[in-house]
Amino acid sequence: MRIAVFDSKPYDEQALNDANAGHGHELAFFGDRLSRSTVPLAAGFDVVCPFVNDRVDACTIAQLAQFGVKLIALRCAGFNNVDLAAAREHGLRVVRVPAYSPEATAEHAFALLLTLVRKTHRAFNRVRDGNFSLDGLVGFNLHGKTFGVIGTGKIGQACIRIARGFGCRVLAYDLYPNPALASELGFEYASLDEIFPQADILSLHAPLMANTHHLVNATSIALMKRGVVLINTSRGGLVDSQALLDALKDGQIGGVGMDVYEHEEGVFFEDLSGEALMDDVLARLTTFPNVMITSHQGYLTAEALANIASTVLDNVAAFARGGELVNEVHGSA
């Protein structure tokens, strides 16, 4: 099948081309994100392959249908950027990559956390400047701390395993608690109202839906333990960025590690080093010494890229032969 891959980077091309050796699809790579303005690039293709920040809205989908596109093969787990109702209306199927490497994202969450609590980023810069002083570098142990996890899907579970390995007490929230899982991994399920005041560290692993948008907001932050460390490697829209900034300024939040940002489209994945950062909130967040920001790289391991590419092309192959689409997305975003 002819596949138009949008928002592609060199590492995407390498992984997809490697995986395609066993399929023989025709791949075309576009650096542009899929949107209303770029959708003409999809003319003549059977499948489009968007990423997390592509805007696959109703207008874009209508155009895709006119061009004869039949499948939207996401190369990510989230699907909040796709108008599923419009896809159904126009007869387009939507598939995703539900689990590519839960450990990759969970490990990145702890990379952010450990950097924050042991201040290794500040120590690294000091030593490079010949400053070997330890003043201002006092951190805290993870052992014995209460670790709050929001969402116990595969990434949340991987995060819980790591937290338990550090000797943390883990409290977790999920809309669909799994007591057997809690017993197996050694954590407790609790309500958000119970987790917020107790957690020393709060790690977000929930999908972005209508009921999770701005889950972390001024009201919920006020319930949290003062000085809590917040880690978000899930979706930027889970956090109200202005409320986060305000809480950092008054010390209610003691540290933030974020691999996602609610207004990251057009910023993350791009080299803007020669330009002014136009997002005032993001620009302000970058100035805090207790804020670690990475550019949506939690998934970016060789293993995860290979798994993503393999699943995307397996999804396309299943569609081409009329087989069951085990990773099809149903319902509304």
290 Cβ neighbours under 8 A, 6+ residues apart: 116, 248, 254, 255, 256
pLDDT of residue 331: 65
> Which residues, given as ranges, of the chain have pLDDT below 50?
333
pLDDT of residue 333: 42
- Whether residue 41 contacts residue 30, with contact meaning beta carbons closer than 8 Å, is answered with yes
Going across the sheet that includes 169-173, the strands are 188-189, 169-173, 146-150, 201-204, 228-232, 253-258, 291-293
- Whether residue 194 contacts residue 220, with contact meaning beta carbons closer than 8 Å, is answered with no
**240 vs 107, 116, 289, CA distance in Å?**
24, 21, 20
Residue type, 324: E
Token pair in block for residue 283: 């620009």
163 Cβ neighbours under 8 A, 6+ residues apart: 142, 147, 149, 170, 203
264: annotated active-site residue: yes
296: annotated active-site residue: yes
CA 303 to CA 11: how far, in whole Å? 12
Per-chain mean pLDDT for the chain: 96
Residue type, 236: G
Catalytic, out of 188, 296, 321, 330: 296
Burial of 220: CB neighbours in 10 Å, binned 0-12, 13-18, 19+: middle
pTM above 0.75, yes or no: yes
Helix 10-20 and helix 302-320, axial crossing angle in degrees, nearest 10: 50
Cite the DSSP H helix spans in the chain: 10-20, 58-66, 84-89, 102-118, 120-128, 154-165, 179-185, 192-198, 218-223, 241-250, 280-285, 302-320
13: annotated active-site residue: no
Q: What tens digit of pLDDT does each residue of 138-187 get?
A: 999 999 999 999 999 999 999 999 999 999 999 999 999 999 999 999 99
Catalytic, out of 264, 265, 321, 324: 264
DSSP secondary structure, 77-138, as one string: S--TTB-HHHHHHTT-EEE--S-S-HHHHHHHHHHHHHHHHHTHHHHHHHHHTT----TT--
Domains and CATH numbers, the chain: 2-100+301-320 (3.40.50.720), 102-293 (3.40.50.720)
Catalytic, out of 36, 235, 284, 324: 235
pLDDT of residue 330: 86
